[in-house]
Every structure is written in structure tokens, then in C-alpha cells.
Amino acid sequence: MRRSFLTLLLPLAGVAALTTAAIHKPAQFSLFSIQQDIELGAQVARQTDSTYRAKGQLLERSRNPRAYQLLDGVVKRVLDNGNVKYRTQFPWDVKIIKDDAVQNAFATPGGHIYVYSGLVKFLDNESELAGILGHEIAHSDRRHSTQMLQKQYGTSLLLGIVLGNRSNSQLVQLAAGVGQLKFSRDYELDADKYSTIYLNGTRYYDCDGAAGFFIKAEKQGGGGTPEFLSTHPNPGSRITNIQKSAQALGCASRSVSNTNFAELKRIL
């Protein structure tokens, strides 16, 4: 089955044209199959885990069961909203990077999500955490991550990694770059919109949760601006768009318990 991936190798000009089209139209045609998303994501996740484990920053599930129990509860609610296209195909695992100085989160292809402890501690309530997680889930489920990696690293290199024809140093480079991917305006707005759709489907969270993060980040400003904004730039009326979407869905004023969220912040 793996050899069949070679049939996706197109002439260079065709690859460039199709990749450009994919970048400007969210969730459009991708040169990668879903299985390749899964295989590439698994390799990138293994390397990302290895990198942060070597730094002593990857919180292992076996040593932090309560933190993951609390975080997994939020992730599961968001994933089970009924609108995640690849809910059963992608593994959808989430991992915590212990770095209180970094307020960021990122997703790989195939549904691997990484959240920095600094981001969790920056947020004020569980709906905001659910909103950011929904945003990252959308990047994977809408296949933004794969298409941005195609743009940044080239389809040939990514296929080489999937097929095992590329060196480990190139995989290390790719894994290091995933957390710094800068998504286009279209992708950011698409992920914001789907974050509200996902949270609405939970019938639990205030679905403009992601807006709360941006409001706080704008107020904070200055040198302490969260790194999330450097990798997920704010295209102007982002807060307004999220709030309008939540109002249209009728899910902007839900009352959510923050007991578990407060415990998660405390033990991280």
C-alpha cells in the first residue's frame, strides 16, 4: 500500500500550481491523502515528543494522570460535537508541554495537539480553553496544517518523509517548524468559525470562547503578548467575527463550571 503513494508524485509545475490553489482556499484539494496525513502526523508527533522529552518539558501521561484526565475531558467534549469530519480516522491525542513562559498551542496533520502550560494558565475559564482547542482541532480536521506544511517545506520533502526516503534531520527540522507555522488569514478565519461550530455542538460551552482569549491578549499587549498571536496572527476583526458567529448560533451566553479548569491550572 505504501508504494501506491508514489502515484501522487506529479510534475513539478503541477505540484506548484495545485499547492498554491490549496493555500488560498481552505479545506480544498490537497495533494496528500487522509492516510498520508495520519502517517506524516504520527512521524512528526513522535519527533516532537522526543524533542520536548529531551528538554524535560513533555508532561508524560503516566506521571500526570489527573492533569490529562481534566484536559482530556475538555478535548472529548469538543471532539464529540458532531461536526469533526475525521473524528474516527485521526487519533486526536493531546499533550502538554511544560513551559509557563510560552502561551501557545499547535496542531500537526492527523490530529495531534500540543498545549503549553503557559497558555492554560493565561486563560480565564474553560470555555476559552475549549475555544482554543476547537481552533487547533479545526486546523487538523480542515487540513490546514498539511497544506501549510506543503507550502513551507514542499510536497516532495513531505512525501519523502512519509515514504521513509528522507533523513531524520529533515524530520527534526519539520517537527521543529510545526509549532511555528503561520497560517493565512483565510485559514485563521476558517478555524475561528469552526471553533464556534464545534463548541455549539457540545451543547455545553460558551461558543465564543476563543474570543475571550483574543480580548485578553489585546488588553495585555506590549512585550507580554502571547506567542499564539505570532503563529496565529490577528486579522483585524477576528473578535467581532467570532462573537457574531456565536450569536448567530445562539450559544454565546452559556454558563459553564470552571471547577475542573481551576484545578488543571493549579496542578500544572
- Among residues 130, 104, 128, 115, which one has the least CA distance to residue 67? 115
Low-confidence winner among 125-134, 139-148, 200-209, 223-232 (lowest mean pLDDT): 223-232
Write the pLDDT tens digit of every residue in 250-265. Answer: 998 888 999 999 999 9
Total Cβ atoms within 10 A of residue 105: 26
- Among residues 115, 179, 117, which one has the least CA distance to residue 145? 179
Write the pLDDT tens digit of every residue in 82-97. Answer: 999 999 999 999 999 9
Write the pLDDT tens digit of every residue in 10-47. Answer: 332 333 333 333 334 454 556 788 998 999 999 999 99
Provide the β-strand partners of residue 59.
96
Residues 175 and 193: their CA atoms lie apart, in Å, by 27
Query: What grid cell was written down for 220?
Result: 495585555
Tell me how far CA of residue 2 lies from CA of 35, 118, 135, 165, 245, in angstroms: 10, 39, 31, 12, 42
Tell me how far CA of residue 56 lies from CA of 40, 89, 106, 173, in angstroms: 24, 31, 19, 19
Length, in residues, of the chain: 268
Q: Is the pLDDT of residue 192 over 50?
A: yes
Q: Is the pLDDT of residue 2 over 60?
A: no
What pLDDT was estimated at residue 165? 74
Write the pLDDT tens digit of every residue in 130-161. Answer: 999 999 999 999 999 999 888 888 888 888 88
Predicted TM-score (pTM) of the model is 0.85
User: Reduced to 3 states, what is the DSSP secondary structure of residue 69?
Assistant: helix
Residues 48 and 101: their CA atoms lie apart, in Å, by 19
What pLDDT was estimated at residue 158? 86
